Amino acid sequence: MDKEEKIIEAARTTNFPEPEEPPRFIIDNDDKAEWALRKIKEAEEEHARLMALIDKEQQSLDERKATFDRALERDTGYLTAALNDYMRTVRCRETKTQQSYQLLSGKLVRRMPSVDYEVDGESLAKWLNENGREDLVKVTIAPRWGDLKKLLTGDTESGAVTIASTGEMVEGVKAVASPEKFSIKFN
């Protein structure tokens, strides 16, 4: 065993005392509870103050961004329009959906007009059903969970869920314990 291995072995076999943890603060009376509430309220107020600063800064950044966007439009708008006009004077490569003209520093592209659709799904589905095109309607079946939940009882240990009035086992639902929740409401 060389010197380094001896040092490592000695460190491994030496019983060093565990560092002591500082005593935990325990709330065991109303005065300490009031102090804790004040501390939490101060922290929440500080958080709200900082969030207001962030919101104000965000507003300032949004205004600066808008200024930069306007400057970009001012500085490039005329040149972009001039390139668009120039593209009308040269022979472009054409496809069904666009025209393009290649230059050394980039490509000029003009997309051809196309049809976009704004769909009212409910009206369209009704029209399709009325006109014999049910094959183009997607039907979604979903449980009415709010109504069903009122009828259920569950065992969090086994996860079993039954209809309370009949004892019938319900498939597709598992009972799980939700954690205890603690909250503070300030006056």
Inside any domain, residue 53:
yes
pLDDT tens for the 187 residues of the chain, in order: 677 777 777 766 667 677 788 888 899 999 999 999 999 999 999 999 999 999 999 999 999 999 999 999 999 999 999 999 999 999 999 999 999 999 999 999 999 998 888 999 999 999 999 999 999 999 888 999 999 999 999 999 999 999 999 999 999 999 999 988 877 777 7
Smallest Cα–Cα separation from 39: which of 157, 184, 177?
184
Inside any domain, residue 123:
no
- The domain in which residue 78 lies consists of 30-89
Inside any domain, residue 153:
no
Inside any domain, residue 180:
no
Domain count of the fold of the chain? 1
Listed in order, strand segments (DSSP E) in the chain are: 93-94, 98-102, 107-111, 152-154, 161-163
Inside any domain, residue 69:
yes
Q: How many angstroms separate the Cα of 84 from the Cα of each of 5, 74, 87, 117, 168?
A: 77, 16, 5, 27, 71
- Please give the pLDDT value at position 187: 77
Inside any domain, residue 141:
no
- Going by the DSSP 8-state scheme, the letter that residue 29 receives in this structure is S
The Cβ of residue 128 has, within 10 Å, a number of other Cβ atoms equal to: 14
User: Coil, strand or helix: which one is 184?
Assistant: coil
Inside any domain, residue 130:
no
What token pair was written down for 9? Answer: 């072995």
pTM for the structure as a whole? 0.47
Inside any domain, residue 24:
no
